[in-house]
Structure 1
Amino acid sequence: MKEGPGRTIAASFLVLMLFVALGGGAWYGFGAVSGFLSAADFPGPGRGEAVVAVESGDSATAIADTLYGEGVVKSAAAFVAAAKDNPDSKDIQVGSYLLKKEMKASDALTMLLDLKNLNVHRVTLPEGLTYLQVYDRLAKATGIPVGDFKKAGKDPAGLGVPALWFKRDDGKKIDRTNIEGFLYPATYEIAKGATATDVLKQIVKNFNTEMAETGFPDTVRAKLDISPYEALVAASIAQVEALLDKDMGPVARVLYNRAYTGNFPCECLQLDSTVNYWLRLTGKEAKSSEKLLVTELHDPKNPYNYDVKGMAIGPISNPGDVALRGAMNPKKSDNYFFVTVDDKGAMAYGKTFADHEKNIEKACENGIPIC
């Protein structure tokens, strides 16, 4: 599987080229359709449009069959001959391609080898985006209105999110219309003509695949004794708070220590990131730590404010693989504080507030604007 900037979801298996010759070069597997045993070819350059699907495991004859059926080539034999003569033909990738009708077989092969001719929209969703930011990127890539994604996203269960994600162990109610956290970051190839529902189902399906491959739900239950949803919330916060991969786990551990041990005075998270998430959701600009007002930090109308006990009521971003793995089973510690201390994103941790104050002083000395 070839990967782009994120993980490409459309399968990229190399198409198997199965050529079997007999005697003077006759090919098996063409079938009895008229024209298959002839190398008749169009002169090109072709006309109109034809959508051709290459499936996983397709042989040269299978691709030739499809092209012939769509009127792209004049005979299957012409395409097989072109594929045999071109060593790059083995690199044809699975996907839906936009070609022309009545093409010269060698030109059709050239177009199948150029990923620009894939009949898809390609969009990369980086780690840490909110669902609204995801919708914006998807809309720009596909031309589907943001409003369509908002409407479709109101039914996570209908999009494929399993029932296990709608349970918490801490008694807090889960908003079953909230898709935040389930839009897995990756590079997606979206079929042209897909609806908003189709697109979100594709993304949620990938989320489910990642959860199964990592064993996230079972590991969280066994190692942390909390619901998978609560760990997903922690991963979404770690994704935003930690700038370096190595800090994803330690940050998640601080969150668990604050929310569940009973040793943190308010048993709350007290995070600027959760406050800022609410500001974004309500159409306001996020603020740096030193600019957040006390009234904003403790706003009773904000369900993500400083004073809410336990783990936040929902994810604040869509976390990627590193953040999710970090939140699954982070190394145990007695840390209750963390802060970024240099411009490279390094974090320092503290067991007490006095430790935290010393780390803040170090951050200030390094020019981090939190003082």
Structure 2
Amino acid sequence: MDELDLAWEDEDRPRHRRRASGPPARSRKKKGRGGKTFLALLISLLVVGGLAYGVYAGIDRIQGMFSAPDYSGGGTGQVTIEVISGQLAADIAATLQEKDVVKSAKAFVEAAKKDERSKKLQPGFYSLHKQMKASAALSLMLDPRSRLVNKVTLAEGLTYQDTFKKLAEATKLPYDDFENAAKDPKALGVGDVWYARQDGKQRSPGIEGFLFPATYDFPPNLDATGVLKIIVARFNEEIEKIGFIEAVQNNLHISPFEALVASSIAQVEGLDKDQPGIVRVLYNRVYSGKFPCNCLQVDSTVNYYLRITGKGAKPSTELLQSELHNKNDPYNTHDVAGLPIGPISNPGSSALSAAMNPPKSDFYYFLAIDTAGNTAYAKTYAEFQKLWEQAQKNGVK
């Protein structure tokens, strides 16, 4: 202030030197200093205020240069976005920007960082709008109602027909589309290893056994071939995970397809805990050479043929002799040696594991001993008869 004051004083003084008349210099200086000091203070405040505003405006402009461009509203129209498993927020953001859902990928990434729920974003297809505020787009993606899925649960032991019916219902695709797509299992991912049998018997060419039971979320606009490819791929993943092919070839010395057939029978014959013992009985009957005609003689294969031919399954006590010994039935195991021509259901993990590692035993008979489905085993037919009498007392029909 002193320097400013001095500058202003110099401008008021005469340019030539002479002694001023009037009041003493000290008095004049004091009076002039008060007016000039106020003026200088005012100018100083204006200058400082102007500088402060300039700095504020500059910072605001710089922040604007580096902040992420973003839309302000909830968007319009409809657009479908796919989130792929393993994608990072930046990957998803890039897709959203490309589809004009958000104005910039950076805006979505910043919104995701601020919302802990973004870590729970699931893979799949989402219905969003164009030109949405990034935070609004994220909130919509976190809403389960925005996820486009055809969800279906395939239980263990379903036949291919039952499976196709469930798939048709979930996807709204015609049942016949699945029938047609299944005519070429190799095209769906069934490998060559499943087309060989070591017992010399004919192999069923169908898709039965390869439709792995699980819960599936199918993306929209997928045709029947695409749906079945996903299911077969899941089967292949399970087979590889448990080492099924190597185990049955190296330890049991049978073809993977034969073991798959055995697992499909065990799946419908008993509870998970009993399936290994049931598989052992099946193997003993077919491969030991100690059972009459090496025939399985199980009613589940008879019932399978009745089901796929539209006649419906029956309790064992109601099966006719003509049905048990039908020479036209390719799944006849009462008169034909060995395992049937193909699986009779689609087995799950438990039955597949049972088929690759059954316990050693000399049992040749099994039956449900109670209404809960628990299985009992016998070595001889006489022992089996006694178990059957006990089962009847327990209410088994």
**Structure 1 partner of 2:355:** 327
RMSD: 1.6
In the alignment, the residues of structure 2 paired with residue 114 and residue 235 of structure 1 have an alpha-carbon distance, to the nearest angstrom, of 41
Matched, 1:268 2:285: no
Cα distance in 1 for partners of 2:66, 2:98 equals: 11
> Shift of residue 85 of structure 1?
1.9
Match of 2:182 among 121, 146, 153: 153
- How far is 1:163 from its partner? 0.5
After superposition, what is the alpha-carbon deviation per residue over 1:159-205, rounded to whole angstroms, capped at 9, x for unaligned? 111111000011112133x1100111111121211111111111111
C-alpha separation in 2, matches of 1:122 and 1:338:
37
Deviations along 1:90-133, one digit per CA (max 9) or x if unpaired, are 11122222212222322211222233322321111111000111
Displacement of 1:61: 2.7
AA in 2 matched with 1:240: V
Alignment of 1:38 with 2:61, yes or no, is no
Q: CA deviation at 1:76?
A: 2.9
The separation in 1 between residues aligned to 2:85 and 2:66, in whole angstroms, is 22
Unaligned runs of 5+ in 1: 1-23, 25-34
Q: Tell whether the 8 Å contact from 2:81 to 2:128 is kept in structure 1 after alignment.
A: yes
Q: Separation in 2 of the partners of 1:293 and 1:232?
A: 28
Query: What do the CA deviations read for 1:236-280 (whole angstroms, capped 9, x no partner)?
Result: 0000001x2111110001001111111111211111110000001
Give 1:37 deviation, angstroms. Answer: 4.5
Q: Kindly report which structure 2 residues correspond to 1:101-112, keeping only aligned pairs within 5 A, or say none.
A: 101-112=130-141
Unpaired runs of 5+ residues, structure 2, are: 1-58, 60-64
What is the distance in 2 between the residues matched to 1:240 and 1:319?
Answer: 8
- Shift of residue 36 of structure 1? 8.8
Asked if structure 2 preserves the Cα contact closer than 8 Å seen for 1:42 and 1:73, the reply is no
CA contact (8 A) 2:70 2:134 kept: no
Matched, 1:61 2:90: yes
Partner of 1:180, secondary structure, is: coil
Alpha-carbon distance between aligned partners in 2 of 1:56 and 1:362, rounded to the nearest angstrom: 53
CA-to-aligned-CA distance 1:41-64 (integer Å, 9 cap, x gap): 2321x3221111223343323222
- What is the CA–CA distance in structure 1 between the aligned matches of 2:246 and 2:303, rounded to whole Å? 31
Count of equivalent residues: 333
1:203 aligns with 2:202: no
Corresponding position of 2:203: 174
Q: In the alignment, is residue 291 of structure 1 matched against residue 318 of structure 2?
A: yes
Q: Would you say 1:117 and 2:162 are equivalent positions?
A: no
Which residue does 2:3 correspond to in 1? none
Match of 1:279 in 2: 306
Read off the aligned partner of 2:220 and give its amino acid letter: K
Q: Are 2:124 and 2:219, in contact at CA under 8 Å, matched by a contact in 1?
A: no
The DSSP-based 3-state class of the residue aligned with 1:158 is helix
1:38 and 1:226 mapped to 2: Cα distance? Answer: 63
> TM-score with structure 2 length normalisation?
0.81
Which of the two has greater helix per residue?
A: 2
Match of 2:259 among 212, 217, 231: 231
Give the superposition deviation at 1:352. 0.3
Q: Distance in 2 between matches of 1:363 and 1:269?
A: 21
1:252-267 paired onto structure 2 within 5 Å: 252-267=279-294
Deviation string 1:214-256 (CA, Å, 9 cap, x unpaired) is 11111001111111100000000000001x2111110001001
Which residue in 2 is equivalent to 1:86? 115
Structure 1 segment 11-50 matched on structure 2, within 5 A: 37-44=67-74, 46-50=75-79
Distance (whole Å) between structure 2 residues aligned to residue 348 and residue 116 of structure 1: 48
- Deviation for aligned residue 1:154: 0.8
Q: 1:36–1:77: 8 Å Cα contact kept in structure 2?
A: no
Which SS does the other structure have where 1:157 is aligned? Answer: helix
Q: Deviations over 1:255-306 (max 9, x none)?
A: 0111111111121111111000000111111101111111111111112222
Q: Do the aligned partners of 1:36 and 1:75 also contact (CA within 8 Å) in 2?
A: no
Look up the SS of the partner of 2:97 in the other structure. helix
Quote the residue 1:304 is aligned against. Answer: 331
**1:217 matched to which residue of 2?**
245
The TM-score normalised by the length of structure 1 is 0.86
Contact 1:258 1:267 in 2 (8 A): yes
Comparing 79-88 and 142-151, the one that deviates more: 79-88
| Maintained 8 Å contact 2:189/2:229 | yes
